[in-house]
Amino acid sequence: MSSKSQLVVVGAGPGGYAAAFLAADMGMEVTLIDKRENPGGTCLYVGCIPSKAYLHVAKLLNEAKEAHNWGVDFGEPKIDIDKMRAFKEKVVAQNTGGTGQLVKQRKINYIQGTATFINSNTVKVEKVDGGTEEVSFEHSILATGSVPAYIPGLSIDSPLVMDSTGALELENIPNRLLVIGGGVIGMELGSVYAALGSKVTVVELMPSLLPGADKDLVNTFQKSIEPKFEKILLKTKVAKLEDAGKVLKVKLEGEGLEETELEFDKALISIGRSPVTKNLGLENTKVKLTERGFVEVNEKCQTDDPKIYAIGDIIKGPMLAHKASAEGKVAVEAIAGHKVAFEPAAIPGVVYTDPEVAWVGLTETEAKEKGIKVEVARFPWAASGRARTMDRSDGITKLILEPETERVLGVGIVGPGAGELIAEGTLAIEMAATAKDVALTIHAHPTLSETVMETAEVFFGQATHLYRPKRK
């Protein structure tokens, strides 16, 4: 069977489906191909969405525990992981069912299967329900996403070793869990298991958790979460991981370790993700890959094959759903002949732990590396009335500003709700707002968002709820 389509989108994650939906809304004939039943990809099925469902539960568990400080004792929680998993699955089903609906409403030709490129204008789809179909296209958008990175020696084939997808299955609550990799995924899923009662040890190769985030944010974050974890081992490497039947035998290497040989009931490998660009038949097109397997694109997300575009985790930049969606829209507009480019001033990054960590735009670390002169203003949440009412002073809001123009170049926040608060920072950066703009914008009281305003006030040396002796 063969058919024709104006636009073929390969991969229906948040990048692919956003692109397909926009293209359909703009009047294009669109074919969207994905191996899953509905659009959603990693994000909706085994990433952002299910992990957030669990993190919601984890936060509740933590707060319930804290509640005795506020005069309420819930006692020991009873955890039914089957029900918890079912809740997650319901969330996933609702979301993916929703995207499935949207596909139908937009009259998009959704093919459940795996596509390979035969040439620069045809894909062959191995359908999930059997049979193949060739679809020729005028344009195509590659949006195949990423999978958990595989590390030889660590990624052993054992039921006790999980990747993020496995961890979300929530088979059981292991007594002792080893999290390899203290990045976003490791810290989020590690937090979930810790809240459920696992003794979680995090091993990170780098000298700090959440590589990429500023030191001051990470320090505050770490201080706050450390009591919930068994151990956080930095500058440490897993030298050996061995399935010894019922337990995992682990050998660690690193500075100042008390013990180097440990036993765990399960391990989560969260050391990053790899782009999916193999076995797609890209060799039959002019699409070029980098050494690390990413697709090379120009500012319009166009590959070296002018009819084929690529977006999301398979191209340069952070592997984030919202970045992929934005790119998908740029690619579609470019295909429609509009003069567009993917040129955001800022892409926010959020870690949905408790407290959350979020940053956007220029970080202090990056400024230092690049030799960019900046001024930094910080506001500790201890001075926030709203944070106090939540018994949560473990937060900081900071602004990174251009000294001459006082323009907001970056924003960093740690604290509950940081992921929501960062939106204001992103808008400020995109609109080229100055510290004065932020300081003069009235923020509702009492809210955590006020801390953004007060940070700007700190920059000018006078913040209502923070006293600083005058600088000479």
Partner 1 sequence: MAFEFKLPELGENIEQADIVKVLVKVGDSVEVDQILLEIETDKATVEVPAEKSGTVKSVNAKDGDTVKVGSVIFTFDEENGTESIQETPKEEPKLEVVEPKAEVKKEENKQNEEQQSGGIIEFKLPELGENIESADVTKVLVKADDKVEKDQVLLEIETDKATVEVPAEFSGVVKEVKIKEGEKAKVGSVVLVIESGKSTAKQETTIEKPAKTVESVKEEKITTPKPDVTKQLVTPNESVDVARKKSFATKIAPAAPTVRRFAREIGVDINEVSGSGPAGRISIDDVKKFAKSFNEKLRSGGAGMPIGIKREALPDFSKWGKINKEPMSNVRKKTAEHLSYAWATIPHVTQFDKADITDIENLRKQFAKKAEVAGGKLTVTAILLKVIAAALKVFPQFNASVDMDNKEIIFKNYFNIGVAVDTEKGLIVPVIKDVDKKNILQLSAELAEISTKARDKKITLEDLQGGCFSISNLGGIGGTAFTPIVNSPEVAILGVSRGSFEQVYKNGEFVPRMMLPLSLSYDHRIIDGADAARFIRWVVNALEQPFLLTLEG
Q: Which of 60, 239, 372, 382 binds partner 1 (CB under 8 A)?
A: 372
Output the CA torsion sign for 381, 386, 391, 392.
negative
In whole angstroms, how close is the CB of 340 to partner 1 at the nearest point?
7
Burial of residue 109, with CB atoms counted within 10 A of its CB: 0-12 exposed, 13-18 middle, 19 or more buried = middle
Q: Is there a catalytic annotation at residue 445?
A: yes
Selected range binding partner 1 among 287-295, 298-306, 310-318, 383-391, rule: CB under 8 A: 298-306
Query: For partner 1, which stretch binds (CB under 8 A), given 52-60, 278-286, 317-325, 335-343?
Result: 335-343
Give the phi and the psi of residue 253 in degrees, each rounded to 5: -130, 135
**Residue 345 within binding range of partner 1, rule CB under 8 A:** yes
* Amino acid code (one letter) for 21: F
Residue (67 or 431) nearer to partner 1, CB: 431
**340 near partner 1, judged by CB under 8 A:** yes
Pick the piece of the chain touching partner 1 (CB under 8 A) from 2-10, 51-59, 340-348, 450-458: 340-348
139 exposed, middle or buried (CB, 10 Å; 0-12, 13-18, 19+)?
buried
SS3 content of the chain, % helix, strand, coil (to 5): 35, 25, 40
Of the candidates 56, 338, 443, 445, the residue annotated as catalytic is 445
Token couple for 93: 């089903």
Please select the residue that binds partner 1; options are 153, 159, 256, 371, rule is CB under 8 A. Answer: 371
> Does the bond joining 355 to the residue before it have cis omega, within 30 degrees of 0?
yes
Residue 413's DSSP bridge partners are 358, 397
Q: Count residues binding partner 1 (CB under 8 A).
A: 27
Listing DSSP states for 261-293 in one string gives EEEESEEEE-S-EEE--TTS-GGGSS--B-TTS
Give how far Cα 83 sits from Cα of 61, 96, 212, 353, Å: 15, 20, 36, 22
**Of residues 96 and 302, the one with the C-beta less far from partner 1:** 302
Q: Does 338 bind partner 1 (CB under 8 A)?
A: yes
* Binding-site member from 104, 339, 468, 472 for partner 1 (CB under 8 A): 339
Q: Is 298 in the site for partner 1 (CB under 8 A)?
A: yes
Q: Closest separation between CB of residue 471 and partner 1, Å?
A: 22
Q: Which of residues 166-195 bind partner 1 (CB under 8 A)?
A: none
Nearer to partner 1, 344 or 417 (CB): 344
φ, ψ dihedrals at 330, nearest 5°: -60, -45
- When binding is defined by CB under 8 A, the residue of 341, 385, 440, 446 that contacts partner 1 is 341
Q: Can you read off the two tokens belonging to residue 418?
A: 């940081």
Is 300 near partner 1 (CB under 8 A)? Answer: yes
Half-sphere exposure of 420 (CA within 13 A, CB side): 9
CB 357 within 8 A of CB 418: yes
CA atoms within 13 A on the CB side of 142: 36
Q: Cα(264)–Cα(200) distance, rounded to whole angstroms?
A: 9
Closer residue to partner 1 in complex, CB, 250/428: 428
Does residue 370 bind partner 1 (CB under 8 A)? yes
Residue 304 binds partner 1 (CB under 8 A): no
Q: Which of residues 385-444 bind partner 1 (CB under 8 A)?
A: 402, 405-407, 409, 429-432, 434, 436-437
Q: Could you give phi then psi for residue 42, rounded to 5 degrees?
A: -55, -45
The only residue of 157, 343, 467, 471 in contact with partner 1, by rule CB under 8 A: 343
What is the nearest approach in angstroms of partner 1 to the Cβ of residue 362?
Answer: 9
Taking contact as CB under 8 A, which single stretch among the options 11-19, 29-37, 152-160, 341-349 is the one that binds partner 1?
341-349
Nearest CA to 167 out of 153, 152, 177, 175 is that of 177
The residues of the shown chain that bind partner 1, judged by CB under 8 A, are 298-300, 302, 338-341, 343-346, 370-372, 402, 405-407, 409, 429-432, 434, 436-437
Active site residues: 445
